[in-house]
C-alpha cells in the first residue's frame, strides 16, 4: 500500500502528482482514454454509430443503462453523505463485457455482440462526461483557457495536414499538464487529444499504444486501485449503503434501464431491434452490460476521499462483476436449453419457431 500512497519528491512549483497512485490515475490512465476514444471516434465516423438509424437504439439503451443505476445508487444512499458516488455504477467495461460475451459462444449472437460493443462505447463516452463535469476539482480558469488553446493548436495541425509526430505528442503532454492544473480530471486530456486527431491517424496511434495500454496501463491501474485490505466483515461491506448502491445499480439497474428504454423506443417505432434478435436475448445482454470494472473503480477513486469508502466500493464492484457474469451465463444457458427442447418436441416446421425467436441459435 505504501508503494502507491507514499509521497514522492517532485520539482517545486510544477504541482505534479506526488504519489504513485495519483500518477497512475492522472497520467498513465490518459493513455487508456486515448485508446478508448480512438475506438469511439472510429465508430462515430465510420462504424455502427455513424448514422442516426444505427446509433439511436444503443444511444437510448446507454442512457437508460446510466440513469437507472445512478438513481438506484442515490436511493440506497439518501441521507448518508455518499450519494455523490452515483456515477460509479453507470459505466460498462468494454473489454470485460465482450470477453464474457465471447465465452457464451453461439448462445450470444454476433449482432447482439456488435450492439453490446456500441452500447459500451456510448457508455464509456457518458462516463467520461460524468467524470469531467461532476468529479473535477475547483476550476482554475487560466489553465482551462490554456487547455482550450492547446486543443486549437492540435486542431490546427489537423487542418493544415501536418503529419502526426513529435509536435502533436508535445502538444498532448502540454494539454495533460494544463488539464491537471485546471482542476478537471487530467486523464481526460487523452479524450480531447484523440478527438482532435484526423481519422486516418487513429490507426497509427492505436497501433503505437494498444499493447502498452493492454499489458502495462490496465494491469498497473488494477494493481494500484484494487490494492485493498479485505476486511473480515466483507458481508457487512457488501450490504452497506455504498455496497448495495453499487451492486443494485450494476446487477439490477443496468439490465433494467437498458431493457425498459429500448422497449419504449421500439414500441414507439423510434428504433428497432437488431435483425434476428429477440427481447429475451436483448434482456440477457443487459446483464453483461452490468460488468463495470475500469471506469467504475476510476470513478470511485474520484468520488470518495475516504479509503474505507473506496475499499467498500471496490469490493462491491468486484462482487458485481462476479454476479453479472454468473447471471448472464445461467440466463443464456436456460433460454438456449429451452429452444433446444422446443425444437425436439415441435410438430411444426423450424421456420414457424424461428419466426418467433424460439429456434435454436446454433441452427442452420
**In which band, very low, low, confident or very high, does the pLDDT at 363 lie, cut at 50, 70 and 90?**
very low
Asked if residue 337 has pLDDT above 70, the reply is no
Q: Could you give the CA distance from residue 260 to residue 152 in angstroms, rounded to a whole number?
A: 41
Tell me what percent of the residues of the chain surpass a pLDDT of 70: 88
pLDDT of residue 187: 85
Query: Would you say domain 2-136+185-355 falls under CATH 1.20.120.550?
Result: no
- Average the pLDDT over each of 57-66, 81-90, 130-139 and give the range with the smallest value: 130-139
pLDDT of residue 322: 93
**In which band, very low, low, confident or very high, does the pLDDT at 63 lie, cut at 50, 70 and 90?**
very high
C-alpha cell recorded at residue 348: 411444426
pLDDT of residue 361: 45
Residue with cell 433460454: 335
Residue with cell 451492486: 247
Q: Could you give the CA distance from residue 291 to residue 99 in angstroms, rounded to a whole number?
A: 11
Whether 296 and 88 have beta carbons less than 8 Å apart is answered as: yes
Whether 257 and 64 have beta carbons less than 8 Å apart is answered as: yes
Tell me what percent of the residues of the chain surpass a pLDDT of 90: 49
pLDDT of residue 290: 92
Q: Could you give the CA distance from residue 343 to residue 333 in angstroms, rounded to a whole number?
A: 16
Q: Which residues have C-beta within 8 Å of that of residue 199, sequence separation ≥ 6?
A: 41, 42, 45, 46
pLDDT of residue 91: 87
Please write the tens of the pLDDT for every residue from 128-180.
889 888 887 777 889 989 999 999 999 999 999 999 999 999 999 999 999 99
Q: What is the DSSP letter of 360?
A: -
- Average the pLDDT over each of 27-31, 71-75, 334-338 and give the range with the smallest value: 334-338
Mean pLDDT calculated for residue range 109-134 = 87
Asked if residue 349 has pLDDT above 70, the reply is no
Average pLDDT, the chain: 86
Higher pLDDT, residue 96 or 330: 330
Mean pLDDT calculated for residue range 299-320 = 92
Residue 354's alpha-carbon distances to 43, 138, 173, 282, 350, in angstroms, are 31, 57, 55, 16, 6
Q: What pairs with residue 9 in β-bridges?
A: none
Asked if residue 362 has pLDDT above 50, the reply is no
Domain coordinates of the chain in residue numbers? 2-136+185-355
Mean pLDDT calculated for residue range 327-344 = 73
Asked if residue 364 has pLDDT above 50, the reply is no
Whether 26 and 98 have beta carbons less than 8 Å apart is answered as: no
Residue 302's alpha-carbon distances to 251, 310, 336, in angstroms, are 22, 9, 41
User: What's the distance, CA 324 to chain centroid?
Assistant: 15
3-state secondary structure of 50: coil
Mean pLDDT calculated for residue range 349-362 = 51
Please write the tens of the pLDDT for every residue from 289-302.
999 888 899 999 99
Amino acid at each position: 500500500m505504501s508503494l502507491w500512497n507514499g509521497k514522492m519528491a517532485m520539482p517545486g512549483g510544477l504541482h505534479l502528482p506526488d504519489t504513485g497512485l495519483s500518477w497512475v490515475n492522472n497520467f498513465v490512465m490518459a493513455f487508456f482514454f486515448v485508446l478508448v476514444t480512438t475506438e469511439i471516434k472510429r465508430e462515430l465516423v465510420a462504424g455502427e454509430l455513424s448514422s442516426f438509424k444505427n446509433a439511436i437504439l444503443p444511444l437510448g439503451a446507454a442512457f437508460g443503462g446510466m440513469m437507472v443505476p445512478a438513481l438506484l445508487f442515490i436511493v440506497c444512499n439518501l441521507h448518508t453523505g455518499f450519494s455523490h458516488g452515483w456515477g460509479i455504477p453507470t459505466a460498462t467495461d468494454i473489454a470485460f463485457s465482450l470477453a464474457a460475451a465471447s465465452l457464451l459462444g453461439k448462445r450470444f449472437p454476433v449482432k447482439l455482440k456488435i450492439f453490446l460493443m456500441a452500447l459500451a462505447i456510448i457508455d464509456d463516452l457518458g462516463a467520461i462526461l460524468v467524470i469531467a463535469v461532476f468529479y473535477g476539482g475547483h476550476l482554475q480558469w487560466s489553465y482551462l483557457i490554456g487547455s482550450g488553446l492547446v486543443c486549437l493548436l492540435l486542431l490546427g495541425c489537423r487542418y493544415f495536414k501536418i503529419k502526426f509526430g513529435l509536435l502533436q505528442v508535445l502538444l498532448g503532454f502540454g494539454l495533460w499538464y494544463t488539464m491537471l492544473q485546471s482542476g478537471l480530471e487530467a486523464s481526460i486530456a487523452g479524450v480531447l487529444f484523440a478527438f482532435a486527431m484526423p481519422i486516418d491517424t487513429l490507426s497509427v496511434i492505436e497501433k503505437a499504444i494498444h499493447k502498452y495500454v493492454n499489458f502495462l496501463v490496465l494491469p498497473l491501474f488494477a494493481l494500484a486501485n484494487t490494492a485493498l485490505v479485505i476486511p473480515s466483515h466483507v458481508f457487512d461491506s457488501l450490504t452497506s449503503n455504498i455496497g448495495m448502491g453499487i451492486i443494485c445499480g450494476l446487477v439490477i439497474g443496468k439490465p433494467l434501464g437498458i431493457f425498459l428504454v429500448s422497449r419504449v423506443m421500439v414500441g414507439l417505432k423510434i428504433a428497432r431491434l437488431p435483425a434476428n434478435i429477440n427481447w429475451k436475448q436483448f434482456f440477457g445482454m443487459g446483464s453483461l452490460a452490468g460488468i463495470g470494472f475500469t471506469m467504475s473503480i476510476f470513478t470511485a477513486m474520484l468520488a470518495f476521499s475516504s479509503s474505507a469508502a473506496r475499499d467498500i466500493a471496490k469490493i462491491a464492484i468486484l462482487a458485481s462483476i462476479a454476479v453479472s457474469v454468473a447471471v448472464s451465463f445461467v440466463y443464456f444457458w436456460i433460454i438456449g436449453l429451452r429452444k433446444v427442447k422446443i425444437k425436439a418436441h415441435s410438430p411444426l416446421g423450424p421456420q414457424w419457431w424461428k419466426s418467433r425467436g424460439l429456434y435454436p441459435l446454433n441452427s442452420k
